[in-house]
């Protein structure tokens, strides 16, 4: 699997490299298609990226025409949007409440609904309408941001999850036994149709998973789901700090 790798000194430089790539893709997308569509990653790693993008003491805020940016999520926890665990809340507090993006451009997954399967189907229907897709088409986000778990999961595609084999749906609800929790996630096939996929990975605890995904023989992908991410439109970019890259 070909990948692009940028090794950063530390978490702060990961965030700056990611912000630079975010701005580049946003401007390219808006120039060509008059809009920029991004599926945000969950977890804690992207928080610093979100803060930098919204911080007027850094150049990024002024470099994006936020009126034409549309925000989606690669996955969401099945909690209320104001729950500290919510990926929407993380992005809202660090970024979306601090940049001039129109509220109608924020396309949240309603994962708090009691029927998460129906919520996943509704988000898929919403995506198909927004991207004007037929049943056979797959959506093309301009950018999908992803993280990596120590077990090789990405988005909410966890080892041995039923979501890994899904190759027709764009969005599924999935039970994560190890977390004793349900999640809603884009499928690998939906992610692989993005124009650009960027992984942000920080920390020595991720170094084994980074080595397996980037250099391991692509074994049973059920064990290392991030190996399923092989975008059709070009190699994914991995922005990794030295600690996470130490076994490469
Ligand atoms: C989530 C994410 C998940 C995350 C990884 C890494 O909802 O948790 O989508 O895939 O990116 O678990 O999380 P950290 O950035 O917190 O290490």
pLDDT tens readout for residues 224-241: 899 999 999 999 999 999
Q: What is the mean pLDDT of residues 21-32?
A: 98
The percent helix, strand, coil of the chain (3-state, each to 5) is 40, 20, 45
138 vs 108, higher pLDDT: 108
Mean pLDDT for the chain?
A: 95
Reported residue count of the chain is: 248
Pocket of ligand 1 (CB under 6 A): 41-45, 75, 87, 147-149, 153-156
Q: Which of the four pLDDT bands, split at 50, 70 and 90, describes residue 217?
A: low
Give the residue whose CA is nearest to atom 13 of ligand 1.
Answer: 43
Return the ligand 1 atom nearest residue 183 CA: 7
- How remote is the CA of residue 32 from the centroid of ligand 1, in Å? 31
Probe target for ligand 1 pocket from 11, 15, 18, 43, with the most ligand atoms within 8 Å of CB: 43
State the average pLDDT over residues 204-219: 87
104 and 66 in contact (C-beta within 8 Å)?
A: no
Query: Residue whose CA is closest, atom 7 of ligand 1?
Result: 42
| Integer CA distances (angstroms), 9 to 14, 139, 239, 240, 242, in order | 8, 34, 11, 9, 6
Across 160-181, average pLDDT: 94
Confidence at residue 149, expressed as pLDDT on a 0 to 100 scale: 97
What is the arithmetic mean of pLDDT over 13-24?
98
Indicate which atom in ligand 1 lies nearest the CA of residue 154.
10
Nearest protein CA to atom 8 of ligand 1, as residue? 43
Token pair of 195, please? 């124009």
Q: Is residue 126 within 8 Å of residue 107, measured between CB atoms?
A: yes
The pLDDT-based confidence of 1 (bands split at 50, 70, 90) is low
Taking the centre of ligand 1 as the mean of its atom positions, its distance from the CA of residue 149, in whole angstroms, is 6
Over residues 147-170, the mean pLDDT reads: 94
Q: Report the alpha-carbon distance of residue 133 to residue 135 in Å, rounded.
A: 7
Ligand 1 pocket: which of 74, 87, 148 to mutate (most atoms within 8 A of CB): 148
């Amino acid at each position: 699997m070909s990948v692009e790798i940028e090794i950063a000194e530390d978490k702060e430089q990961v965030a700056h490299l990611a912000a630079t790539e975010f701005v580049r893709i946003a401007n390219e997308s808006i120039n060509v298609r008059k809009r920029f569509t991004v599926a945000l990653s969950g977890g804690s790693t992207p928080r610093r990226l979100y803060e930098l993008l919204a911080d007027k003491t850094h150049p990024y805020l002024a470099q994006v025409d936020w009126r034409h940016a549309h925000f989606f999520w690669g996955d969401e926890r099945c909690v209320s949007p104001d729950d500290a665990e919510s990926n929407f809340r993380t992005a809202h507090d660090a970024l979306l409440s601090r940049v001039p993006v129109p509220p109608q451009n924020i396309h949240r997954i309603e994962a708090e609904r009691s029927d998460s399967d129906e919520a996943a189907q509704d988000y898929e229907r919403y995506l198909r309408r927004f991207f004007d897709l037929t049943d056979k088409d797959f959506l093309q986000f301009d950018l999908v941001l992803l993280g990596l778990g120590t077990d090789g999961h990405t988005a909410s595609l966890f080892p041995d999850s039923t979501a890994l084999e899904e190759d027709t749906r764009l969005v599924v609800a999935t039970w994560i036994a190890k977390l004793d929790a349900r999640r809603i996630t884009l499928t690998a096939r939906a992610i692989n149709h993005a124009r650009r996929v960027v992984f942000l990975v920080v920390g020595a605890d991720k170094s084994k998973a980074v080595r397996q995904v980037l250099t391991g023989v692509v074994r049973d992908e059920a064990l290392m789901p991030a190996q399923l991410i092989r975008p059709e439109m070009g190699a994914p970019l991995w922005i990794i700090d030295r600690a996470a890259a130490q076994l490469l």
